[in-house]
Each structure stands twice: as structure tokens, then as C-alpha cells.
Chains A and B, each alone.
Chain A
Amino acid sequence: MKTDIILAGVGGQGILSIAASLGAAALNENYYLKQAETHGMSQRGGEVVSHLRIADHPIWSDLIPSGKADLILSVEPMESLRYLSYLSPKGSIVTNTAKFVNITGYPDLDHTFEELSEKVNIVRIDADQIAKDSGNPKASNMVMLGAASPFIAIHEDIIIKGIESIFKSKGEQIVEMNVKAFHAGKAFTLAKK
């Protein structure tokens, strides 16, 4: 078993909470994991990407080879398209539709997504809205993780345990809200399938 995930977003959007939840989940299960992330200059509103690799066998490279990612999980629509070269022909894209516009000339992407959806499996989800509806606008990233979970080869219960261990220091209420957001995201993807 292996799942190679490209996590994408814009500096400050907190994609690392997704990585941390999956990391904790993988560690609990004694899976092997490597997760390369972006620090430093790009964190100032630049594009950020994290390579997250989980397997039941040792992993060599911290970076995913091109054409080998099983999943692109992006918390921002344009960012979901930036790393397409990593995506396996059998891979999937799960992306938030809420735009992060900190630049001029943000392109219209509807046509691109339509074209692309003929070739690869794409789930487009308004995670910000779903997070709001589920009572915690800050839990958008957990909605995204839930929406992506059907494409990740780790059992849902284990991912939820990972979410719990990441948020437990912030109290039970925060844990519950994030787990709720996870379920809302997952339900969205399953309804689409």
C-alpha cells in the first residue's frame, strides 16, 4: 500500500494542519511516512506545496516523482493545477473552490477544470462554505481532508484518531468541530461518486 499526496495552497492557508493530521494517523499505525514542506520566503503569500507520502514499506525519496502522485489535495483552486505534472494518470484531484486572490490577473479556471475532468477524476468542493455550515469556518482544511479521505489508503477511523491527536490540546469542543467538518467533507465526495 502507498498513497502519495501533493498538498497545495497559498502561504498562510495552513495546509500543514492537513499534513500533521495524516502524519499523526500514519505514525499511530506504524506506517512509513515522509512529508516535505515549504518554509521560509514562500510563506509570505507565495505558493506552498507539501509532498506527503505514506506506505506500509520504507519510502526512499522525500519528493514524489513526477507522474506518481495518487492525489492532489489543494485548498485553493488555481493551486490545484500548478502541480499536475506530479499526478499519476490514475490519480485524483480534490480541490477547494474558494479562491485566494492575492494577485492581479487571477485566471478564469472553469473551462480548464471542465476539460481536465474528462481526463482525471476531480472533486471540487466549497470547503469554506461547508465549514461555515457545519459550525466552524476555521475547519475548512478538515473539510478538505474529509473530502479527500476516500482517495487515501488509510482507514477513516485512523485519520480521525490523527485529527484528535493534533487538536486535543485545544479542548474537546475543537476536536469535535474538526471531526464534524471531516465527516461533512467526506459526505460531499461520497455523494458525488
Chain B
Amino acid sequence: MQTNNFTNMQKSLLLGVEAIGQAAIDAGISGVYAYPGTPSTEITEYIQNNKLANSRKIHHEWSTNEKTALEEALGMSYAGKRAMACMKHVGLNAAADIFMNMAITGVNGGLVVTVADDPSQHSSQNEQDSRFYGKFAMIPVFEPSNQQEAYDMTYAAFAFSEKTGLPVMMRIPTRLAHSRSGVIQQPVMPENNLHFPENPIQFILLPAYGRKLYQSLIDKQDWMVELSEESTYNNYFEGKDKSLGIVCCGIAYNYLMENYPDNNCPYPVVKIGQYPLPKKMLKRLEQQCDELFIAEEGFPLVEEMLSDFFEKGTKVSGRLNGALPRRGELNPDHLAKALGKEKVQPTSSPNILVGRPPSLCAGCGHKDTYEALNEIIAEVGTGRVFSDIGCYTLGALPPFNTINTCVDMGASITMAKGAADAGLTPVFAIIGDSTFTHSGITGLLDCVVEKTNINIIIVDNEAVAMTGGQSSAAKGRIEKICEGVGVDPTHIRLFVPLKKNHDEIVSVIREEMTFNGVSVIIGRRECVQRIAKLKKLNRTNKEV
């Protein structure tokens, strides 16, 4: 085979998330703020391991949660420098307060909020679409379709944020976050200098000021639409067959074009990469075509906006009318089916295959905790273990079947409290060390204030384990935090989750269960994955 010289430019092979990390560095950020969450984690890890970022001392420590991350990023923007905050889609729920309000304050230094959505829920409790948040907050949203666009849009987003005075959301789905391709970089920009906002009240949302600032956000909206019309990320591709007009958002465009390998899609297509929607461009499509078909990765946001409520106008199809699946990530086959393309009949897998549900690692301390807790549950009856987000959520599956709830970060303690308030005794909350510092402390304070009869088991593996063993903000601090919040020190108990300690663990839990008040039982043993990761890291460092 011949060598092909498609380009003289040096390409780097980057995941979508890595492309975003590299672009942010190249665009001159002074800080990245994030809490780990699949599929967003590697953006921050990429910056943490980047030479230029380290030589520039770009801030890259993990924040306690997404809310603190986004607030810290806004503080850096206030001081005139460029900052990026990264999170998974449900992380934005935790940060929704600051997110909605920073749309009103606007920015000083360029501020980009990168949110990685997880359609099909590969690693998440739901598949919410962050574009709704962007629309809700009335800020611009960029949605790349490939790794190069992920780079280019992020690189441009900081200047766009400074030009418009608004934070910009970068929205990517799992499939782009965790797919690699060649990416060409742009020149590295210098960091901004420290400088104050010109308007001294810009960041003071007193109602009187807030009303003015909100009005100015509203006043910017027509301009945002104009910028979307002119944007190179929104494109109108002509097509001869006007029986159908197609709107593709972000990565959905790839799935459309995969079905037309010679780039010969017969229909006019609008490709959306920047929101708010370019109204003129879409009007033109609607006027030229008999019907519209909308393909978007996530919820049917655009489809709903363009759909004809009273069914008197142009027919719009997509996820809402069944042309595409209502939920889950898209793929080329979905688009092929919707467009009536013929497919080869694929070979089907034999039905004797068995699935491999994810499971706790060999040697994981959570196993020992669940084995002990199950002995207690066998005595007091099931239905009373409130759990949380992390590796220990796997306690919901066989062989343990221990936990009864897993809803959102921190909800173990608070839901257990609510159930205790309702009269359920005994109740147990199981929460990891990092989830506890993320969102568990405030719930614990509620329990302390009301002297709730609750048994909180903090499974402390000294890591954010599920996302790859990042450092936990809780390290070495949990007992002190609990004491500081007001838990009676005699009811803060420690155990080491090991098989040989089984009887001891059972008796500690039993003792605390009989105490009518707040008990915190901490099982501490480092995550086996993190131990392996640190060992590997030490070896590499020694070799270098």
C-alpha cells in the first residue's frame, strides 16, 4: 500500500476529551476546575499530565464537587483569566445554581463549561441532555461532531466567551468523548493578565442589579442568534431532493453521512454545531422542503422546537414520532432505517452467550463491608440500606443484593434520614469517602441537628475509585469532618474491611445500630486499583 500524504500538519491521536483539554491549554487557560465523572474525567487528567500546562502552573487540582468547581472557575474569570470547568451531565445538576446565575453575571476572562452527556447511560443514572441547560440559562452552546471540531470549538470558545461576555457551554456525548482520532493543533496563546471587570456591579446579583443584568442577557439573545447564523459551525448543505430536509446536531451528522459514503446525500441538510439555533437557516430549509427530519444525540430538543404543535404545518419527525428511538445513543443503523436505506441482514449472536455485569474488583474492601452488613440485614430485615454513587453501588447486584437505593450524589444519608423521620428503624446509609465530601456532609449536619437515629457507613477507599482512582478530598479527614459537624466522637467507629475482621465489623455495626442517634462507621482500606495505579506511577517516575 502506498504512503498517503493527506496533510503536512502534524496530527496527534486524541480522544474527544483529550482534544478539549489540549485546546483549552492552547487557548491560554489559567485553570481547569472539575470533579471526576465519566465521560468527562480525562479532560482534567489530560491537563494534569500536560507538560506545558504544568510549566505554566495552570490550576488543575480536583474540586470537591461540580458546584465548587464552577464557582472557582467563575472566580478566575472575574479576575480576568480564562478558565474551564468540566463535569458529567448529572454533575451540572449539582452546579445548576451557579450555572444559571453566572449566565446573568456573565464573564470577565473567557469561561467555558464543558459538559459530557452520557446517552445510553453507559456509566450514569440518567441520560439528560445538557443543551436544555444551555437554553434554560440562555447562553451559547457549542456541540462538536468530531475530535477536530472538539478541539477547534474549544479553542475558539474562550475568545467567543470574552466577545459576548457570556459563559459558553461545550457539550459532548460519550461516543465523542471516548473516541480517538487525529487532531491538528493551533498556535499556543498566552494567558490573560489579571484585570478587574469594567462594570463594578457585574458580579453583584442583588435583586436591583440582578434585574438589570438579566435584562442585558435577554437583550443579547438576538445577537446570539445572528452569531449562530454566521457561525462556521452551522452549515447548510444543498440537496436536489426537496421531499425531505434534514437537521443533524453534532455527532448525528456523522451517522447520517456514514450512509452516504460518496458524500451524495440527496436531501438538503442543516448541520448544527452552535446554539441558539440559526433561525434563518432553518426557515430556509423548512421553506424548501416538504417535510423535516431531525437527528440529535440526546433528548429531542430541536425536534420539539421545530415541531408543529397544532399539526397544521410542516411535518417534523425524529425521536418523538418513532422515526428514531426515543432514548439511547444514535448510530449509523438508526439513521439508515429512518431514511429507508437497505441493510445487509447481519449475523446474529448465538443466544447461549451470558452477560458480564460489572463487579467489584478482587480484593476490594467493599465486599467485606457488604458481607458483614448482610449478616445484620438478615436479622433486621431488608429494605433499609440507602446507598449512593460509586463502586459500592455494585452492592445492588448479586452476590450481595444489599442496597435498596442509588439516586444522586449524597442521597444515601438524606434519604435514610427521611425514612428514619417516617419511622423506619434501623436505617443504614452507605456512602463512599469522595461522595461524602462531594455532597454527604450537609446531609450529615441535618442528621446531627435533629439527632436522627441513623447508621452511616462511610466506605473509605481513599480514592474516587469508579472514575479511575483519583485523589479524594476526604483523605485522612473523615473522622475530623464528622466530629466537626457534631457527631459524638464515641459514635464515630473505625474498622478495616478485611475478611479476617468479619466478626468485628458485624459487632461494631450491631453496637451502633442499638444506639438511638447519629452513628458514623468508617471502613477504611485503600482501593486496590489505586494501589496498583500508584505503584505503576512510581515505577514510571523512577524510570524517567
Contacts and interface: CB of A to CB of B under 8 A. Distances in A.
A97 to B, nearest CB: 16
Report whether over half of chain A's contact residues are helix, strand or loop; otherwise say mixed. loop
Contacts, number: 160
A109 B349 CA distance: 12
Nearest to A27: B13
Given A40-B38, A42-B122, A83-B349, A29 B179 contact: no
7 contacts: A29-B3, A39-B41, A45-B359, A56-B1, A67-B347, A78-B353, A84-B347
Given A27-B182, A33-B182, A38-B122, A60 B355 contact: no
Interface residues of B, number: 54
A76 B38 CA distance: 26
Interface string A104-147: 01110100100000011000000000000000000000000000
Interface stretch (B47-55, B250-258, B456-464): B250-258
Given A30-B3, A41-B466, A62-B176, A81 B181 contact: no
Interface of B: 1, 3-7, 11, 13, 38-39, 41-42, 122-123, 175-176, 178-182, 251, 254-255, 257-259, 331-333, 336, 343-350, 352-361, 391, 394, 466-467, 543
Main secondary structure of the interface of B (DSSP, over half): loop
Contacts of B466: 40-41, 44
Contacts of B361: 44-45
Given A38-B122, A41-B38, A46-B356, A65 B349 contact: no
Nearest to B5: A30
Contacts of B38: 39-41
The 6 closest A-B pairs by CB, nearest first: A40-B123, A40-B38, A36-B179, A61-B258, A62-B179, A44-B358
Contacts of B359: 44-46, 102
Given A38-B178, A63-B331, 18 more contacts: A27-B13, A30-B6, A36-B175, A39-B178, A40-B122, A41-B122, A41-B123, A62-B175, A62-B181, A63-B255, A65-B258, A65-B259, A66-B343, A81-B349, A82-B353, A88-B344, A155-B1, A169-B543
Contacts of B178: 36-39
Contacts of B11: 27, 30
Given A35-B181, A62-B179, A66-B333, A46 B358 contact: yes
A31 B7 CA distance: 10
A182 interface: no
Given A44-B359, A105-B354, A39 B39 contact: yes
Contacts of B13: 23-24, 27, 33
A31 B336 CA distance: 26
A125 to B, nearest CB: 20
Contact of B181 (A34, A88, A153): A34
B116 to A, nearest CB: 11
Contacts of A47: 355-356
Given A30-B7, A36-B179, A62-B254, A102 B356 contact: yes
A73 interface: no
A106 B352 CA distance: 9
Nearest to B344: A67
A36 B328 CA distance: 17
A19 B358 CA distance: 22
B73 to A, nearest CB: 24
Given A29-B3, A37-B180, A112 B350 contact: yes
A3 B350 CA distance: 25
Contacts of A190: none
A34 B180 contact: yes
Nearest to A115: B350
A141 B353 CA distance: 23
Given A84-B348, A84-B349, A33 B181 contact: yes
Contacts of A188: none
Interface string A78-109: 10011111111100000000000011011101
A85 B357 CA distance: 21
Contacts of B348: 84-85
Contacts of A109: 352
A107 B349 CA distance: 13
Interface string A42-79: 11111100010000100111110111000000000010
A61 B254 contact: yes
Nearest to B147: A34
Given A67-B345, A154-B1, A42 B358 contact: yes
A87 B123 CA distance: 26
A23 B355 CA distance: 29
Contacts of A191: none
